[in-house]
Structure 1
Amino acid sequence: MNVFKPLVFILAFSFTSILTAQNFGDALRYSDFDPIGSARFTGAGGAMGPLGADFSVISTNPAGLGWIRKSEFMISPGLYINSANAQLLNGDNQLDFDDAAVQFNIPNVGIVTSSRGANGMETFNFALGVNRLADFNQQFYYKGVSKGSLVQRFAELANDRGLDDFEAGVAFDAEALIEDNGFYFSDFDGQEDAVVEREETVIRSGSISELAFGFAGNVQNKLLWGFSLGVPFLNYQEQKEYSETDPTDEVFVFNNLRYTQNLTTAGVGINLKLGFIYRAHQALRLSMAIHTPTYYQIDETFTTAMDYSYTLPESPTSNGSANSPEGQFNYGLRTPWRLLGGVGTVFGKNGFLTGEVEYVNYSKNRFLFDGFSTDEAEINDETAANLSSAVKIRTGAEYAMGNFRLRGGVGLQQAPIVGDNTFYTTGSFGLGLRQKTYYLDFAYRRTGLKTTYTPYLATDAPQQFVNNDTVRENFLFTIGFRW
């Protein structure tokens, strides 16, 4: 396996090297959908596409809405927990640190109106509601001692591109860079083997929630069709506070620095989904669905700030400080097509077993810049070169015991990075109570991820790597009413 490619992905995904520039990590973040619908949908591994009969399939295979025979309303409050264990890999005997982001949310609310169809249709249904497609909430912290400094990156940028408004320019205004006849250098020049103590807190928040409108029909309980219009709303915020200190005076003149970054992203998109389910036998259901690309219009705002402290020989301590202007950038993003296929079997009134496969070629993400054709071509070439196609496999089961339900699911997700053959696993289980006019469901889902994060990129300085083991947990409760 090519080790470098996965690391490049994590670097780009976790760090915006110049806040005014997009990268393929942004494309992946906004196109990697993982629907969190009702507790029944989640408890059964999100693999309800071949079987339907749940509002949540409006975001996977809307044909499944055709199995709903009574009008119903559901709402699903939930708790999301992202636990992280981070450790700086550079240097020796580094400590690891635990952190967590906890959020209460309502990832699913929907209504389905069911009516008798004409011309042989058993039902003709309309659905409206919201499903959460992605959750960005995360918080982690690391601390350690290693060689290299962030200001070495800023010096490289200044000598290569000049003073920009958000990195090198801010560093120069904060007195972290010194200019001499057009050349920029820092207090770390000539002291490459010196070590400093560094720490950083990263806080991310936001989500993608899709407002969906769907229609579905059931033709003689044999063929079901459905389509939906999706309007995803994305919001993403990232706050980073990075600092370096020199408690042992290894670096001449330098005392400490603090560099903060703030990014806020908001966008809205539109897509269409078309699905079919064929009941080949009383107990066997076959399904397929196709999702058009999502067309986003995205707005970003961003700021940076820096504080820098140093002490010249026989002089008092000096403190420099600078803030960037507020940057703004608007752009479009077109995500890839998605193909889904599945099979499910129903064991009479005793339960079901289902599986679904989703295929996405993430390299087909395309940025759309108005008036920046050269930059657009460069980022799209980078996206095509680093992202790849990937499959998601979702399986689920339900066992009925009278009015009670026991559910479980297992999922596999392939890393969509060139050269990375890793599969990440997801496990879920759920409980339910089904009555004639109402139902109650509970679900728990857990996903484990291992990623590598870097606080900055530099060519001529030691690169910092942080091992970041995360566990994502969802607790979900659904209450629904039928009439």
Structure 2
Amino acid sequence: MKKIITGICALAGTLSFAQNKYDYQYPSNAINLYSQDINSGNAKYIGVGGAVGALGSDINAVEQNPAGLGVSVVSDLQITAGVSGYNNKSSFGTNYKESDNKFNFQQFGGNFVFQNPGSDWNRFSIGVAYYNQRIDNTSTIGENSNISSVSSQYDGTFAGYYKNIDGYKSKFSLNFGSSYDDRLYLGLGLNFHETNYSSYEQYYEKDATDGKNYGYNLDGFPYNENGQGFSFSLGAIYKVDQSFRLGAAYHSPVWYNLTTEYFSFNNSFNSTNGTVNSYNLYYSDYNLTRGGRFVGSLGFVVGKSLSLGLDYTYHMNNDTKLKPNNLFIPSNNFINDFVKNSSEVRLGAEYRVDKFKVRAGYNYVASPFKDFSIDLADTNNQVTTTNLSQAFVGDVNRASFGVGYDFGGFYLDAAYQYQTQKYKQLIGGGNYIDSNNSYVQLPNTYAVNTKLNSNLFLLTLGWQF
């Protein structure tokens, strides 16, 4: 079971909290990859910034409030394809930029409306949707000759650092909605989550003897993880009058079962020749509970031409836990002390001119990490106790725009989303091994200024009937 902890800790990055009474590296992926809601949907949903919690009427509205399905008056089938990309810039003595783009199917789904005339419960709906988000990210950090690694064979200098994540997270959602007198709308969602990705971190060192660069894997890498999870959601929308709507929803925690495979030397140092005795592949399983969220929404409808949405989400990040509890005490202690519940605000608007629609939206998602003190080394390798903010994940800002056209039954929507965040990428404080099982150490921890910009282009084809 000790191997479980070794692998999860390695995935966290390279941060050691020994000076803060935390025994090993914090598994930041529990927050970075799992606590963040899936950023996917059709072009209409993304175009208005996902601010549809009180407006509903579209299958994608269930991501904010499953009661939105009860607002639908016609059945609908749709499919969405898109291109997602990122631009990652790091600054650590030298500046580096990495970028990539990928095409994939982002979403497909539909809702089926059943009229019930003659009853106050006048309409029922069933909806299914599949969402897919790429979580690819590559970061390259440049050379810094002022930083030295340590091994029993020789001393070398920092020649670069490379971190890569490649994979996806997806969600399949089965939803039920109802309308009471077209005044009160209720909804229930059953959600099935999946995550599959691979990751590795490499440190490059310039040998002080021959001047060549050599690459080393961070202990615990390469790393692969896949898992499945379940959650549910409940929601209600109340139409105060024809122009004003209120919405509220609860999204439960997500309960994950995760399977990992990774390489580790398991502390088998051989200080005589500067190697580790073995660097083997291990397998393990663990459980993760991701914190839930509450969503409160306002919706405004002006005639048939303009709709406005405002959503506030309270993310219960601090409820995130890794299990078995007895094996993850230091990690869960870190979550208790340094992870906070956070807020998200969404604004969106749609303006209609006959069959043509124009959309715009904005999101602000606060970082789930508190500020904390840690011993950090600068680019000159000078160590000071530093109050660190925006570590691992920074505040996220998203702006989106979209257009749509109704051909009479069939419709076509397009959207673009731009996302940006600044954060501190933590490296060092770990052991690194090459293909010959030789090892070096970066004893200090470094905070690298990183800016991650993301782009999302979407095209949705749908049919209402």
TM superposition score category, shorter chain reference: 0.7 to 0.9
Residue identity matched to 1:480: G
Question: Does the aligned pair in 1 maintain the 2:12–2:25 contact within 8 Å?
Answer: no
Residue identity matched to 1:62: P
Residue matched to 1:374: 326
1:25 pairs with 2:7: no
Residue matched to 2:154: 187
Residue matched to 2:364: 412
For 1:477 and 1:411, locate their aligned partners in 2 and report how far apart those are by CA, in whole Å. 20
Alignment of 1:7-406 (within 5 A): 13-15=12-14, 23-28=26-31, 29-88=33-92, 94-117=93-116, 119-132=119-132, 135-150=134-149, 152=150, 176-177=151-152, 186-188=153-155, 196-246=157-207, 249=208, 256-260=213-217, 261-303=221-263, 324-369=279-324, 373-406=325-358
Bigger fraction of residues in helix = 1
For 2:29 and 2:139, locate their aligned partners in 1 and report how far apart those are by CA, in whole Å. 19
Question: Does the aligned pair in 2 maintain the 1:59–1:131 contact within 8 Å?
Answer: no
| Percent of aligned pairs sharing the same letter | 23
Q: Which moved more, 1:64-73 or 1:217-226?
A: 64-73
Residue identity matched to 1:80: S
1:452 Cα deviation from its structure 2 partner: 1.8
SS at match of 1:383: helix
Residue identity matched to 1:285: R
1:401 Cα deviation from its structure 2 partner: 0.9
Change in CA separation of 1:237 and 1:325 when aligned onto 2, cut-off 3 Å: same
Bigger fraction of residues in strand = 2
Residue matched to 1:162: none
1:476 pairs with 2:443: no
- CA deviation string 1:201-220 (max 9, x = no partner): 32212222111100000111
Rg comparison, structure with higher value: 1
- CA deviation string 1:387-411 (max 9, x = no partner): 0010000010001011000000111
1:462 Cα deviation from its structure 2 partner: 4.3
Structure 1 portions without partners, runs of 5+: 1-10, 89-93, 153-175, 178-185, 189-194, 306-317
SS at match of 1:139: strand
SS at match of 2:240: strand
SS at match of 1:477: strand
Residue identity matched to 2:175: G
SS at match of 1:380: helix
Question: Does the aligned pair in 1 maintain the 2:15–2:445 contact within 8 Å?
Answer: no
Q: Runs ≥4 in structure 1, deviation > 6 angstroms? A: 318-323
1:197 Cα deviation from its structure 2 partner: 4.2
- CA deviation string 1:67-92 (max 9, x = no partner): 2222211110011011011222xxxx
Structure 1 vs Structure 2 CA RMSD: 2.6
For 1:215 and 1:32, locate their aligned partners in 2 and report how far apart those are by CA, in whole Å. 24
**Alignment: residue pair count:** 408
Normalising by structure 1, what TM-score?
Answer: 0.79
Normalising by structure 2, what TM-score?
Answer: 0.82
Match of 2:425 among 426, 433, 453: 453
SS at match of 1:111: strand
1:264 Cα deviation from its structure 2 partner: 0.8
Residue matched to 2:400: 428
Question: Does the aligned pair in 2 maintain the 1:24–1:386 contact within 8 Å?
Answer: no
